[in-house]
Amino acid sequence: MNDTMSRYRTMIGHRLFWPAAVLFVMLAANTIYRPGFLSIELKDGHLYGTPIDILRLSAPLILVALGMTLVISTGGIDLSVGSLCAISGAIACMYISKQPDQNSLGVVMTALAMALGVSLVLGAWNGVLVAVIGIQPIIATLILMVAGRGLAQLITEGQIITINSEPYRAIGLGHALTLPLAIFIALAAALLVAAFTRRTALGMIIESVGGNAMASRLAGIRSGRVIFLVYVISAACAAVAGFMMTANVSSADGNAAGLWVELDAILAVVIGGTSLAGGRFFLSGTIIGALIIQTLTTTVYAMDISPQTSLLFKAVVVIAVCLIQAPAFRARFSRRRRNVPPPATIADKPKEQVPA
Amino acid sequence: MTTGTLTAGRTRFRLPRKQIPVLATLALLLVMYAIGVSQYTAFSNVQVIFNVFIDNGFLLVVAVGMTFVILTGGIDLSVGSVVAMTAMVSAALLQDGMPAALVLVIALLIGPTLGLLMGCVIHFFEIQPFIVTLAGMFFARGMCTFISGASIPITDGFWTSMSQERIGNPRGNFVSISVLIAFVVVVIAAYTLAYTRLGRNVYAIGGNPQSALLMGLPVGRTRIAVYTISGLCSAIGGILLSFYTLSGAPLIGVGMELDVIAAVVIGGTVLTGGAGYVFGTVLGVLVLGVIQTLITFDGSLNSWWTKIVIGGLLFAFILLQRLIGIRYK
């Protein structure tokens, strides 16, 4: 009896339990509402079905959220990712649209390299503002969030650039091994980030910087470089996500591409259990968070509700997940009032920002 | 503004230095105006300034509410959506034939109620303001489209008269009633922050919540109050916007929270809280308004330059705050 209780307790206490439970409940509700929800069929050598669609559409969000996870785990935040998506997509599409042969692989590669390069520079700009000049992350990236939209529109000259390039389109809609290519790109990025952070000391270094930048600097970690690095990684992830978004529709719209993706990404990270105060990060949680958000969106579409109204559901889910995860909320509503240690108040104790 | 000394830090008093950001904003505003006057003859018309106020009255009110929140070190992302929701609700209720006075009361109650709820969640459950107000933003925006997917025109007599009433001198210069309302809000807010207990608590909490708590200040009540105030200001802003556009549109005010935050920061309020003035926020809003006017006057520049310039100004002012050594926490 006691054993089952403790096992039950461990399971409930596991950081992935609640996000996974939410995802499971949402999938189950969908299946009850629409029995064909989970069915997958093979057509022309490609797999089709709602679950595949959810995976494919969540790929850009997963990418952005991966970068965001690293940034948030250092105690920062990157609001500029949406604008970066727009910029990278705009540059790539602009370059391709100017070329005589849009289908040439070389042209597409050059376009991707250029766009990625610019994004890295912009990520470095964010990194310098935060790590060298010591500006609060939320503000430092707000600059690029506001100005970046303008830059993207400047690149596309306010137009929607349409391209007709097969290789570029493949990034968003292509297939490999019966599955959409976008899933593999997101998976590869996730594995790459996971390998670099969890198989090397990098992850622990990032967490230590997020826990206390000053202490980790005194312990011999170059906090500044680590912080700089996460913003560059975040920009790179956003750039690739931008390629996917524009490739999906074969056009670049400086105004609408990646709009609100930064908010969705932050949500995915928070739902995944990473605290906004930094110090710990959970890549698997982030991916589940992104899947939850995309499942929610798809569900709402399938129920014939306008996409804007889906924000209502998003609001409910956000508050529910955050409340469930909040230590204060759990303490208040847990039936056994044991000597719960006072929950670490995140909102009340903003950590010291150390110019590194 | 004696409250400045309260937050000047444990070690040194730098009252004049603290006001440098506000003075810099003022200087920038004057320089921009001078450029406008020297470049375009029509710019020197007083009406140009009045128009900046008329076009940005609602933004001013919302920015004043945001100043309270940012002074406590929080942030309110829901303002743009609450503005839209207020305008939407008023338009929908007026369309159903409800009397204008009742609509005003209902519309003005929605914002503060949402703000109160968000403040309670932030305080009692210790969830970051960023996330809670993000949810509030989603909720309000979703409500807008839930009410109606299309824009609803307002034909009510009170609304149209408020919209068209011009208060001015015989030479033809005028302001709208919205501008007067905005001014009243600014004056009340400035008085509250500078001379009341609530205002001092706001600065104290922004300076250091722990010390404020240890000093026995009502941290929770104040924190909930600022989000309620921000909600109220957003509601007033929404009413002013519905006066201005005479309609409620579900997608109006998208991204407004960014303009508002930018205005507050350009106005010299520090985002970690504890330092800043309502007067600075007024200047910040004016800077944004004058930029837009300049770009309109120029004609050859496109609207996206507004965003780039605002981004550049944000950078310049944050750098300035950094350089003159206002301590970021």
Q: How close is the nearest chain B Cα to the Cα of A46, in Å?
A: 36
pLDDT > 70 fraction of chain A, expressed in percent and rounded: 92
pLDDT band at residue A351 using 50, 70 and 90 as cut-offs: very low
Give the gyration radius of chain A's Cα atoms: 21
CATH number for the region A20-29+52-327 comes to 1.10.3470
- State the complex-level ipTM: 0.76
State the Cα–Cα distance between residues A69 and A62, nearest whole angstrom: 10
- Pick the residue from chain B with its C-alpha nearest to A155: B304
CB contact (8 A) between residue B305 and residue A313:
no
pTM reported for the whole predicted model: 0.82
Letter string b/e over residues B80-109, b meaning 16 or more CB atoms within 10 A of that residue's CB: bbbbbbbbbbbbbbbeeeeebeebbeebbe
Q: How far is CA B227 from the centre of its chain?
A: 13
Chain A interface includes B292 (CB < 8 A) = no
Q: What angle do CA A156, A159, A161 make, to 5 degrees?
A: 70
Q: How close is the nearest chain A Cα to the Cα of B320, in Å?
A: 11
Residues in CB range of B135: below 8 A, 6 or more apart: A314, A315, A318, A319, A322
CB-nearest partner of B329 from A129, A140, A352: A352
Q: How close is the nearest chain B Cα to the Cα of A195, in Å?
A: 29
Question: Which residues of A, range 159-218, sit inside 8 Å of B by Cβ?
Answer: none
Domain chopping of chain A, boundaries: 20-29+52-327
Domain chopping of chain B, boundaries: 3-323
CB contact (8 A) between residue A136 and residue B308:
no
CB contact (8 A) between residue B318 and residue A143:
yes
pLDDT in tens, chain B (329 residues): 444 445 444 555 445 666 777 888 898 899 988 988 888 888 888 888 888 898 899 999 999 999 999 999 898 989 999 999 999 999 999 988 888 899 999 999 999 999 999 999 999 888 888 888 988 988 898 888 888 888 888 888 888 888 888 887 767 778 888 899 999 999 999 999 999 999 999 999 998 888 999 999 999 999 999 999 999 999 999 999 999 888 888 888 887 888 898 899 888 888 777 888 899 999 999 999 998 888 888 877 777 888 888 888 888 888 877 776 555 43
Contacts of A144 in chain B (CB under 8 A): 311
Give the gyration radius of chain B's Cα atoms: 20
Chain A interface includes B310 (CB < 8 A) = yes
What is the topology classification, in CATH, of domain B3-323? ABC transporter involved in vitamin B12 uptake, BtuC (1.10.3470)
Could you count the other beta carbons within 10 Å of the beta carbon of residue A278?
24
DSSP letters spanning A220-260: T--HHHHHHHHHHHHHHHHHHHHHHHHHHHTEEETTTTTTT
